[in-house]
Structure 1
C-alpha cells in the first residue's frame, strides 16, 4: 500500500512522504540545527514547526513541509544527513571517541558486579564446563569416525563394530551434555536480560531521567525500544557469540594438534586463508552493516512511536478529520523502514555471496593437500577423513567473524544504543549543567547552575525559599547562546501564604514551577524546598493511570501512605472535587479502566484536585490546574484547597484567582518580576479585566 501510494503521488508529495522521518521521534528540540553537504541540506526549525530540505542539484527546494500542511511531531537534533541510501550520515551517538570494546564492558560488567554476581558467575562457569565437554566430544568423535572409515576401507568387521560401540558411548554422553548446555545457556540469558532490563528501568525512573531524556539538549530516540528490545537482543547475542567463540577456541586447540601431525602445511594454508578472509570481510562489510543495523532499530522505533501517538490522540485526529494526513505520515515512516531494510538486504546478499565463495573454496583444500600422501600409501583413508574434519572444525573457528558478521554488526549497534542510554541516564544531568555553565559564562561572564536543596523542615514556617534565581533558555545548538527568562528572583513562601504567579505567555510561569521541582536546570541561583513527599504538583493536563477509581485517587498519595484510606475517604475526596458521579461509572475496586477515554479535560483536572485532597501535602503547586473548569467550580475547589492545604502556589491567567491567594508574583518581559500583596495588585491589562 505504501508503494502504491508513492506511485500515484507527484514528485513533491513523494519527496515529502519519504522525508517525514526527519520529524518523527520521541525527543524534542530546544533550538535549531542546520547542515549542508554535496547532496543537499537539512534545516530544522522546531520553534516554528517547519522542516525543510533544500537541494543543490537544481537550485530549487527539494522539500517544503510546514505545520500548515501536516501536523508535526516533536523532533530530535539532526543525527543524519545525506542521501536516502544512507551515505554521508552523521550520528551524534556514533561519534564518540571511546572504543567499542570499552563501551561493551561498561554495558556488560554491571551485571557481573551486581548483587547477582555469584549466581551469574556460577552460571557462566557451568555453561563453560558443559560447552567444553560437548566440544571435547567432537575430538573423540573424529577418532571414532577415522576408525570407522578405516574399518570399512579394510573390511575389518571386528574393528567396525568396535567403532560403532564408541559412537554409541559418545551419543550417551552427548545428549545430556547438549541438553544441560542449552538449559544453562538459556537461564543465563534470561536472568541477565531480566536484570539488565530492570536496571535500565530503575535508572529510567530515577532522578527524572524519563523526563530529561525527552527535554534535554540532545534527546535520545526511542528509549523504550532500547530498554525492551535492544537489551533482550544484546544479552542473547553476547551469550551466543561468546560461547561460540569459546567452543571454537577449544576446538581449534584440540584439532590443530591433530592437523599438524597429519599435514603441517594445511595449518599454514588455513591460517593465511582465514586471516585474509576475515580482514577482507570486515573491511568490505563490517562498518556498513553496523550502520544499517543501527538505522533499522531507529526507523522501526519511529514507526512504532508514530502509531502510538495516533492512539494517544485519537479524538483530536477524529475531530480534525486528519486521518488521511496521519496515514501519509505513518506510511512515510514505513517507507523509511522499507528503505533501510531494502538496503540491508542488498548488503546481506553481497555478504552471502562472499561467505559462500569463502566457504566453498575450503571444501577441496584439505583433500587436495593430503591426497598425494594417500595415493603414495603413506596414510590410510580414515586419516584423510580425519584431516578433513579437523580442517573443517578449525576453519569454522577461524571464520567466526565472516560467518557471524551480520550478528556482530547488529551487536555493534546494540552496544552503542545501550551505552548511549546508560550514559544519558547516568550522566545526562551533569552534561546539561556543563553545557549550561558554558552558555551562562558566555552571557554574563560567570558559570552557574541551579541548586535545588530539599532541606527545609516540614514542621517549620518556611515552605519554600528562592534566592537569586535566574532562569535561561537552553543554549542554541548553533551558537551556544541562551536567553534570560527570569532574572535574579528572590522570595520566600511561608506557612499559610499562597502565591499566584501571573504574567503574559512566555514569561516563564510554568518554567519557574519546573525549576522548583528540579526539572529545569538552565540558569543559576538556589531553591530550597521541603522533601518531595511533602509537596505536590498539579499540571495543566493531569496524568491518568490505567487502573481502578481507587488507584486513580491513591496514585500520588506519598506522605500519607502509612495511614489507612477507606472508601468513605475516597467519597469525601470526590465530593470535594465535584466528582461524586464517577462512582456511578465505575466502582472503587472494579475493573481497570482507561480514564482518558472517559473523562473530559475539566473532569481530569478535578480528579487531580481529588488526589491533592487525598494526599494533603504541606505545599501544593498548581500549573493552570483549573483552566478547563468553570468559575463556580473553580471557586469550590479553591475553597476546599484553602481548608486542606493552606500553603500553595498557582499559575493562572484569570483575575478571579487573585482572591484565593495572599500574594501575586507578576512576571514581566525580559526577566523582570514583582511581588505584590493581593490587596495591592491590579490587572496590568486594560483590554480584558478578567485575564492578566
Structure 2
C-alpha cells in the first residue's frame, strides 16, 4: 500500500514543523551573550569530528597494507606498519578524548544557559503563578504540566540529544562521503546475464549498502514509531509521581494527623502504576525495535565478506584488500544506518522537544494576553498618587470567565484601618490578589500610591518560608545582610517569638518545623522588620489565641500609624473588628446576566 500525496505532504509538514521547533529552541543560545563561546566550541567539535573521520580513512588504508603483509609473510612491512599503527592509534585517541570533552562542555554550558533563561521567564512577572492558575482553570491535563521537571530534566535531555545527534549525523555524512569512494573503487563491478544480455553494475557493494540501509531505515521507522508518544508520556508520569512524593513530604503533619497514609499510599501506587504501565509499553516497543536493529547489525558484519568472497577465492583481490572492502563497507553501512541506530534517541529527543516547546508556548500565551483572559498587567490603567489607593473600577472573574466581584469608588487613605468581610467564597482573598496585580482575570482602573510597589506588603494565612537559615526566612525576600542581628531579634520579640532570637543561623525547613501559629507570628515579624506602609492581612492571625492575636494587631496597627499608612484585614473573629475604623463588605450582586456575583460596599 502506497502513501497518498496528502499523507506524504502531512509527513513533510510534520517534519518541517519539528525542525522549526528545534531551530526556535536552539537559535537563542547561539545568538545570546555567550554566542562566541558557543560557536567556537561548536566549530571545534565539528573540526574534531572531521579529524576523527580522516583518522578512520588512514586506518582503513593501513588495514590493506598490514593484512597484505601478513598474507605475503613480509616481516619488514609487518613491523613497520605496527609502528605506524601506534601513531595512528594515538592520534585517534587524542581526537576522540577532546571531541568527548568539548562535546560535554558545550552540552553543560548550553544547559546552564537554557535553565537560567527559562527560570528567569518562569519566575518573572509571576508567570509561575499565572501558569498554575491557567492550568487549573483548564484542567490538570492542560500544559504545562510539571514545569519543575521541564526545567530540571527536559533542558538537560534536549541539549545532550541535540548535540550528540547533530554531531552523530554530521559524522555519518562525512564518513559516508569519505568511504563511499573507497568502497566504489574496491568493490568492482557485478556482471550477470538477463534475457540474453550481459548487465554490468559498477560499484556493486555501494548499491548493496544503500539498498540494505534504506530498507532497514524504513522498517525501523514503522517498528519504532510508537516510542515517540510513549517517551512523552513517560516523562510526564515520572514527574507526576515525583511531584506527589514531594507533596506528601510537605504536608506530612496534616496527613499524619488525618491518618491519611492508606489514601496517600493508594494515590502514590496509582501514579507509580502509570509509570510502570507506560514503561512496560516503552520497553516492549524498544524490544521489538532491538530485535530488528541487532539482527540488522549482525547481518551487516558478514554481508561484505559474502559478496566479496568470490573475488578473493578467484585470486582477483588479496586478503588485505578483502579486509579493506569489509572495513569500508562497514563504515558506509554504519553511516547509512545512522537513522536505524539512533531511532530510540530520536524518539526521546522529539518527545523532549515537544515538551519544551509546549512550555515555551505557555509563556507566549501569557504574553499574548487573550481578550477573554486579560492579564492584570495589561488590563486597565494604574496611576500614582502619593496619599491614597483609589479603586475607580476593579472587576474580577473566575477562571471560567464568570464575573465574581466588582468594586468601584473605593479608597484606602493613610490612617485607614479597613476590615474586609463577606461570605466564604465571595472573593475576599481574590480582591487582594487583584490589588496586588497577580490575578489574571481582572480589569483594573486603580490609582496607586507612588510608593505602593516598594512599601506594600501582603500577609497570607499560610506564609512561605524558604529552607535555610532562620535569618533568611525572616528577611525573605530581601537578603538577611540588610538587617542587623539586633533588628532581627527585636522583630521576633515583638512578634511573640523571642525564643527564636538565638537560632538565627540554624538551618531548617521552617515551613515544616514551626507550628501554624508560629508561622503566622514569624510572618508578622517580617512585617515588623520591614516596616511597610500599606499592609494587607489575609486571615494572618487565624491560628493564634485571642491574646496573641490582639497583641499582634496592636503592633501592626502601631506600625502603619507610624509609617503614615493604612491597614486592610480579612478576618472573621469579632474581636479583630476593634482594631479597625472602617469596613468593606461583600454583598450579593443584582443577579443580572453578566453582572458580578458580589460587589464591595464601603461603610
Q: TM-score, normalised by structure 1?
A: 0.76
From 420, 436, 439, give the equivalent of 1:520.
Answer: 439
Question: Does the alignment pair 1:260 with 2:184?
Answer: yes
2:384 maps to: 456
Q: Deviation string for 1:567-625 (max 9, x for gaps)?
A: 22122212221221323xx422x220222333221121111111011111221211111
Question: Does the alignment pair 1:620 with 2:549?
Answer: no
CA contact (8 A) 2:154 2:352 kept: yes
Q: Deviation string for 1:371-394 (max 9, x for gaps)?
A: 333344333222221111111111
From 254, 262, 266, give the equivalent of 1:316.
Answer: 254
CA contact (8 A) 1:212 1:428 kept: no
CA contact (8 A) 1:451 1:527 kept: no
From 86, 92, 101, give the equivalent of 2:19.
Answer: 101
From 388, 391, 407, give the equivalent of 1:466.
Answer: 391
CA contact (8 A) 2:495 2:552 kept: yes
From 639, 650, 666, give the equivalent of 2:569.
Answer: 650
> Would the alpha carbon gap of residues 527 and 380 (structure 1) be closer, same or farther in structure 2, given more than 3 Å must change?
farther
CA contact (8 A) 1:111 1:195 kept: yes
Deviation for aligned residue 1:545: 1.8
CA contact (8 A) 1:455 1:531 kept: no
Distance 1:487 1:127 in 2: 61
Distance 1:163 1:190 in 2: 40
SS in 2 for 1:468: strand
1:132 maps to: 50
Distance 1:360 1:175 in 2: 26
Deviation for aligned residue 1:214: 1.6
From 137, 141, 145, give the equivalent of 2:63.
Answer: 145
Distance 1:321 1:97 in 2: 52
1:277 maps to: 216
CA contact (8 A) 1:449 1:524 kept: no
More moved, 370-379 vs 302-311: 370-379
SS in 2 for 1:668: strand
CA contact (8 A) 1:556 1:615 kept: no
Q: Deviation string for 1:649-688 (max 9, x for gaps)?
A: 22222333333233211112243434334xxxxxxxxxxx
SS in 2 for 1:620: strand
From 287, 290, 303, give the equivalent of 2:228.
Answer: 290
After superposing on structure 2, the runs of 4+ consecutive aligned residues of structure 1 that deviate more than 6 Å are 447-450
Question: Does the alignment pair 1:509 with 2:424?
Answer: no
Correspondence 1:12-411 to 2 at 5 A: 99-216=17-134, 217=137, 218-263=142-187, 264-286=203-225, 288-411=226-349
Deviation for aligned residue 1:281: 1.4
2:464 maps to: 543
Deviation for aligned residue 1:283: 2.5
Q: Deviation string for 1:516-571 (max 9, x for gaps)?
A: 2222111423234355332211111011221223222211348xx89x52222122
Distance 2:469 2:511 in 1: 12
Distance 1:434 1:371 in 2: 73
CA contact (8 A) 1:450 1:526 kept: no
Deviation for aligned residue 1:510: 0.7
SS in 2 for 1:505: coil
Distance 1:592 1:239 in 2: 40
2:406 maps to: 487
Deviation for aligned residue 1:209: 1.9
Question: Does the alignment pair 1:634 with 2:549?
Answer: yes
CA contact (8 A) 2:57 2:179 kept: yes
More moved, 288-297 vs 178-187: 178-187
CA contact (8 A) 1:501 1:509 kept: yes
Distance 1:436 1:284 in 2: 44
Distance 2:93 2:206 in 1: 31
2:524 maps to: 609
Question: Does the alignment pair 1:427 with 2:364?
Answer: yes
Correspondence 1:563-578 to 2 at 5 A: 565-578=483-496
CA contact (8 A) 2:376 2:439 kept: no
> Would the alpha carbon gap of residues 488 and 165 (structure 1) be closer, same or farther in structure 2, given more than 3 Å must change?
same
SS in 2 for 1:581: helix
Distance 1:639 1:322 in 2: 39
1:675 maps to: 601
CA contact (8 A) 1:433 1:449 kept: no
Distance 2:133 2:340 in 1: 41
CA contact (8 A) 1:626 1:634 kept: yes
Distance 1:454 1:128 in 2: 53
Distance 2:532 2:574 in 1: 26
Distance 2:509 2:288 in 1: 49
SS in 2 for 1:270: helix
> Would the alpha carbon gap of residues 102 and 550 (structure 1) be closer, same or farther in structure 2, given more than 3 Å must change?
same
Distance 2:100 2:176 in 1: 22
CA contact (8 A) 2:380 2:443 kept: no
Distance 1:176 1:449 in 2: 56
Q: TM-score, normalised by structure 2?
A: 0.87
The number of residue pairs the alignment matches comes to: 557
1:533 maps to: 454
CA contact (8 A) 1:471 1:522 kept: yes
Distance 1:587 1:524 in 2: 45
SS in 1 for 2:379: strand
CA contact (8 A) 1:452 1:518 kept: no
Which one has a bigger Cα radius of gyration?
Answer: 2
Deviation for aligned residue 1:268: 1.6
Q: Deviation string for 1:331-360 (max 9, x for gaps)?
A: 222211111111111111100111123223
Deviation for aligned residue 1:432: 5.4
SS in 2 for 1:659: helix
Distance 1:206 1:106 in 2: 21
More moved, 347-356 vs 160-169: 160-169
Deviation for aligned residue 1:470: 1.3
Distance 1:413 1:673 in 2: 47
SS in 1 for 2:370: helix
Distance 2:513 2:441 in 1: 38
From 493, 496, 503, give the equivalent of 1:587.
Answer: 503
SS in 1 for 2:588: coil
